A = this chain, B = another copy of it.
């Protein structure tokens, strides 16, 4: 791709570093910016700069936060003895939007994935183990996605905290609400039968 302007070329090259954004998409986005009022592009650039310079990660759960401790960790209405282990902050947002969980979180920042060069020491596992060691945690809920990497990560953490004798659980796997049985995959359907729950308790939620 030949550009008529070095400034344009630089902007397109930087934009195309983003995941899922190729050179053509980057050019489309940058040309759109040039058609919009100048203030809009400058506001975007400033928002990105401020965010990258000033954003903090909660020192307890590693969630993104504007303060040392995030709103969830510093809240008084949370059960501090239950910790839900998630992959990244999008999972925190997803669980929070259900309003069914009142414990704390622990954001790992990824999953153990040797293929991508991510080992246990690249994740926030040590601080989680320390929390358990200090006796603050009564139950750990594993809420990683059920892939090979997710299961590996769960098991790695489980091995590290096994000796402290706390409760561990994992989110229920089963047929999604509204789904047709005939289209479900065998593993999910199988697990949903093995791990069936009393009919009365399904009426409550």
Contact = CB atoms under 8 A, between A and B. Distances in A.
Given A2-B97, A18-B32, A90-B27, A7 B41 contact: no
Given A4-B92, A14-B44, A33-B51, 14 more contacts: A2-B93, A2-B96, A4-B65, A4-B70, A11-B47, A13-B47, A17-B44, A19-B32, A20-B25, A20-B28, A20-B29, A21-B29, A30-B51, A41-B52
A184 interface: no
A177 interface: no
A81 interface: no
A52 B32 contact: no
A181 B195 CA distance: 58
Interface in A1-49: 1-8, 10-11, 13-15, 17-21, 25, 27-35, 38, 40-49
A66 interface: yes
A19 to B, nearest CB: 5
